[in-house]
Structure 1
Amino acid sequence: MKIRNLLLPALLAITVTGAHAEGKRPVCNECGTVTSVRMIEKDGKGGATGVVAGGLAGGLLGNQVGGGTGRTLATVAGAVGGAYAGKTIEGKMNKVKEWHVNVHYENGKNGTVVLGHDPQLRNGDRVRRQNGDLARI
């Protein structure tokens, strides 16, 4: 009888502790829930083509103004202004899309992952961050 009185509380303690331990899982710092997805269009980068074409066009237009030293200054100013305008225009023609995915992680932190492709994710999707990308889990 004495052994039974000692074993029963011990077995109950082990059973309760085991059940409690099974209910907890470790926190995954890379796992979370998508809270929002936004697509943003940004201007691309202008390259040498825009600079050269703009510079030539600006220089030709500047050369039509004034005479002597004034014509030289107008040509230089036209070339510089045209180069800048050409680069800006080329950047606007080469728009870039980015997807900003906001995630609430299991560890309680929030973060934004910027992707260069459509992740096909929606609010509430469970995800894991891997190598700068997001994978649905």
Structure 2
Amino acid sequence: MLIQRMLQWGCGLALTALLVACAQPGPAAGEAQVRYGRINRIDAVQIESEAHLGLGAVIGGVAGGVLGHQFGGGTGRDVATVAGALAGGVAGAQVEKNQVKQPGQHIIVQLNDGVAVGITQAADPNLRVGDRVRIDGSGNGARVVRTGP
């Protein structure tokens, strides 16, 4: 009975972690900083994808559970199965995170006030060195948008 509860608890925890990992925060209301300038440099980079399906955690959890089930006997086997499933889920999620990349750009913009800023974002084929641009937002949410040649 205890082992069954542990397995149910472990599966519930894994499902909760999967759902939390897939949740995307909505846009925040309020003001956003807007700055203007000209692109000085664009470098191609690889960035983490915004969307993770959670398949790595699921596959890792199943594989870890199967592997953990190979050890011990009785209660020890059940504990090893749960531990293997949890460890496999964590490892699988990390592997997926490292593998799911998308093309991006690191863009250096010389602002109209003379300050240079660097923004890393998803690739935009319409951006070119010398373009006049606007930077919407700040921090991790900052994006470079073309306003003219």
- Give 1:31 shift: 4.0
Corresponding position of 2:105 = 99
Whole-angstrom CA distance in 2 between matches of 1:104 and 1:113:
11
Q: d(CA) in 2 for partners of 1:99 and 1:93?
A: 18
Aligned residue for 1:36? 41
TM-score (norm 1): 0.63
Between the aligned partners of 1:48 and 1:30, the Cα distance in structure 2 is 36
Q: Cα–Cα, structure 1 residues 46 and 66, in superposed 2: closer, same or farther, change >3 Å?
A: farther
**Cα deviation 1:56-101 (Å, max 9, x = unaligned):** 1100100001112221221111101111122122223321222121
- The 8 Å contact of residues 126 and 146 in structure 2, kept in 1 or not, is answered as no
Match among 58, 68, 74 for residue 68 of structure 1: 74
Given that 2:64 and 2:84 are in contact with CA atoms closer than 8 Å, whether structure 1 keeps it comes out as yes
CA RMSD of aligned residues (A): 2.5
Residue 113 in 1 paired to residue 119 in 2? yes
Deviation at 1:122, TM superposition (A): 5.1
Q: Secondary structure at the match of 2:62?
A: helix
- Residues 4-62 of structure 1: CA deviation (Å, up to 9, x unaligned): xxxxxxxxxxxxxxxxxxxxxxxxx9443323212221343543322221111100100
Listed as ranges, the gaps of 5+ residues in structure 2 are 1-33, 137-142
SS of residue matched to 2:114? coil
In the alignment, what sits opposite 1:134? 146
Unaligned 5+ residue runs, structure 1? Answer: 1-28
Aligned to 2:59: 53
CA distance in 1, matches of 2:52, 2:127: 31
Percent identical among aligned pairs is 33
Distance 1:83 1:35 in 2: 43
Contact 1:42 1:97 in 2 (8 A): yes
Question: Shift of residue 136 of structure 1?
Answer: 4.1
**Structure with max Cα Rg:** 1
Residue in 2 aligned with 1:88? 94
Letter in 2 for 1:39: A
SS at match of 2:106: strand
Mapped to 1, the partners of 2:103 and 2:134 lie a distance apart of 20
**How many residue pairs get matched?**
108
